Amino acid sequence: GASAMTKRTKPEILAQQTVAQSKLFSIESLDLRFSNGEERTYERMKPSGRNAVMMVPITEQGDILLVREYAAGTERYELGFPKGLIDPGEQPNQAAVRELKEEIGFGANKLTPLKEVILAPSYFSSKMTLFIAEELYSEKLEGDEPEPLDIVRWPLAQAEELLTHLDFCEARSITALLLALRVLNNN
């Protein structure tokens, strides 16, 4: 097993302030004093308290369903799994089914939680719960997407090839796929 990790004393927060704000983002600066006396200023996205979900949908025919969606960060269409924010008062599994209906027009009777992951913990606190979604049924909900998403069917048997696909490079989607394959291969 892993060796015991020494417990560190967390840095003391000397000051905390919002340094920039937009419609979507709030940037916070933290003045920190580390246990050895070193002082530094860190910046981060102010925690929103809203977590997210991502689903690996698998059809009875053995296809993985992906979505091709425009990403403003890379200015191109990225291939990944359906995902979205958890609404206030919603459980992650409820959000997962709702987002599936909004993004790909399917609900799921069986959800298998894989792991809660964090994107770039130096800057973000939000967590994303990854699920396998199976026993799909047809049901469409109106989402907030600006254009219909392209749905791409990919044979589960060729999942390894998906990992080398140029448009499939979103880290959380890759993580979800690898964790899903580990679970499915053990069944």
pLDDT, position 9: 93
What is the per-residue pLDDT for 28? 95
Q: Give me the pLDDT at residue 104, please.
A: 96
Q: Is the torsion defined by CA of 69, 74, 80, 82 positive or negative?
A: negative
Residue 12 buriedness (CB in 10 A; 0-12 / 13-18 / 19+):
exposed
Where do the DSSP E strands lie in 22-163?
Answer: 26-33, 39-45, 52-57, 63-71, 76-80, 83-85, 106-118, 127-138, 150-155
Instruction: Report the alpha-carbon distance of residue 34 to residue 106 in Å, rounded.
Output: 49
* 3-class DSSP state of 149: coil
Give me the sign of the Cα torsion angle 48, 73, 83, 161: negative
Q: What is the C-alpha to C-alpha distance for residues 125 and 51, in angstroms, rounded to an integer?
A: 9
- The model's pTM is 0.89
Closest CA to 60 of 3, 166, 138, 120: 138
Q: Which residues pair with 115 in a beta bridge?
A: 130
* pLDDT at residue 1, rounded to an integer: 60
**What is the block-wise mean pLDDT of the chain (187 residues), using blocks of 10 residues?**
78 96 92 96 89 97 95 93 95 97 97 94 92 97 88 94 92 96 86
